[in-house]
Amino acid sequence: MGRPFRQVILKMHARCDLACDHCYVYTMRDQRWRQRDRTMSPEIVRQVALRIEEHVRAHGLSEVEVVFHGGEPLLAGVARLAEAVQVIGAAAPVRFAMQTNGVLLDASTVDVLADLGVRVGVSLDGDKEAHDRHRRRPDGSGSYDAVAAAVRLLAGRSIYGGLLCTIDLANDPVRTYEALLPFAPPAVDFLLPNANWSSPPPAGSYADWLTAVFDRWYEGGETQVRGFAEIINVLLGGRSSVEGHGTSAPATVVIETDGAIEVSDMLASAFEGAAATGLVIGSSSFDDALRAPGVIAHQNTRLSATCEACDLREVCGGGVYAHRYRAGSFLNPSVYCADLYALISHVRDRLTRDVAALPGAVR
């Protein structure tokens, strides 16, 4: 049996109030969202609570993270989210988080989420021009002003989880990073566009973009950038905790609005049903899911010969699983292989120089 699940992503709502053109859920190969229930029912939430409780008990877990996701989870309504927190929190030791586009995040909602202890991450792609290029409303208008106002409501609150920024090579990297800093994020995640060999990303050097941000961050240190921190951690001998870095097995499971148990929803970029296990929460346990072929493949992923021979294998780990797909197989390097190698090499070289320059360092 595989590694117990320590993160459960709940798709509270299967639709979104934005029409972002880079969204992997709605714009890529897997379009099953069209047939799913719009909102997760209270009955499915109760079933999730029972499955989490039995999984925690069976594996002696001290805690599980439950992440409200979508679509846009706030479309389910804050009352539905509060009910889910109460039901699941009563069943097992859980910490709650939510990833939102921020459009519906007003002061009263922030207060409720703070009372519930739900940590909130918001998607923000840089300054107004950068953000509104992709994260638009269905009528084509931008969402930056609403999102920026929402993030300002979170600043200084204990539930503020940070910002997620999808990389666009058309945006200046340092300007993008610095545009996020006034929002005082406790952490920033820079997300590579969800792509693969069969559906490649926009052409250009993602290594150059990320290296420029790394150097600015490394010298400034205003916030945590999780991807960079993860690379440094693994380079120094630590274990990875984020998919796409290191070789630790992923420990995340996704529950769709209709109760389907699935693997990473980023697999929507590969082919229809790539994330499916064929299991539903009402009749299958999380241990059943750990035995599902798709979960086994994701947790115990084989690396390509190229990756196995790479000197940075332990740090890169082959990159994000979804990014390796090519016409029927995930047994490939990441479509971002060259970029990851260049970025990690840059970070390693910079650390090596700085450690060697420390007083008393062996030379």
360 has pLDDT over 80: no
pLDDT digits (tens, 9 = 90+) for 12-41: 999 999 999 999 889 888 899 899 999 999
Q: Is residue 117 left, alpha or beta, with left meaning phi > 0 and alpha meaning psi from -120 to 50? A: left
Residue with tokens 């016409």: 327
Contact, 314 vs 304, CB < 8 A?
A: no
pLDDT at 363: 59
**Confidence check: pLDDT of 310 > 90:** yes
pLDDT at 133: 98
The whole-number pLDDT of residue 240 equals 85
Structure confidence at residue 255 (pLDDT): 98
Distance CA 115, CA 271 (A): 40
- For the segment 306-318, the average pLDDT, to the nearest whole number, is 96
- Indicate the pLDDT class of residue 351, thresholds 50, 70 and 90: very high
Torsion of CA 306, 166, 329, 67, to 10 degrees: 110
Nearest to 319 by CA among 191, 233, 205, 215: 191
In this prediction, residues 214-221 reach a mean pLDDT of: 97
pLDDT band for 361, please (50, 70, 90 cuts): low
Q: State yes or no: cis peptide before 71, omega within 30 of 0.
A: yes
pLDDT digit string, tens, across residues 94-144: 999 999 999 999 999 999 999 999 999 999 999 999 999 999 999 999 999
Q: What is the mean pLDDT of residues 270-277?
A: 93
Cα separation, 211 vs 155, in Å, equals 27
Among 167, 133, 163, 143, CA closest to 151:
163
Share of the chain above pLDDT 90, in %: 89
SS3 percent helix, strand, coil of the chain, rounded to 5, is: 40, 15, 40
Distance from chain centroid for Cα 93:
22
Cα–Cα distances in angstroms (integers) from residue 276 to residues 34, 86, 255, 326, in the given order: 15, 28, 10, 18
Question: What is the predicted pLDDT for the residue at 230?
Answer: 95
What local confidence, expressed as pLDDT, does residue 362 receive?
59
Block residue for tokens 């009402």:
282
Q: Please give the pLDDT value at position 116.
A: 98
The pLDDT of 295-304, averaged and rounded, is 92
Mean local confidence (pLDDT), 84-97: 98
Sheet architecture: strand order including 118-123: 224-225, 187-191, 160-166, 118-123, 94-100, 64-69, 7-11, 252-255, 260-262, 276-280
Please determine, for residue 222, whether its predicted confidence score (pLDDT) is greater than 70. yes
Is the pLDDT reported for residue 1 higher than 80? Answer: no
Residue 120: enclosing H or E segment and its boundaries? strand 118-123
In this predicted structure, the answer to whether residue 331 has a pLDDT above a threshold of 80 is: yes
Sorted by sequence, the CB contacts under 8 Å of residue 35 that are 6+ apart come out as: none
For residues 191 and 320, give the distance between their C-alpha atoms in angstroms, rounded to a whole number.
11
The rounded distance, in Å, linking the Cα atoms of 226 and 223 is 9
Give the per-residue pLDDT at 29: 85
pLDDT digits (tens, 9 = 90+) for 242-255: 888 888 888 999 99
Per-residue pLDDT at 30: 86
**The pLDDT of residue 210 is above 70:** yes
Percent of the chain with pLDDT over 70: 99
pLDDT in tens, 75-85: 999 999 999 99
Instruction: Provide the greatest CA pair distance for the chain.
Output: 63
Helix (H, G, I), strand (E, B) or coil at 80: helix
CB 177 within 8 A of CB 224: no
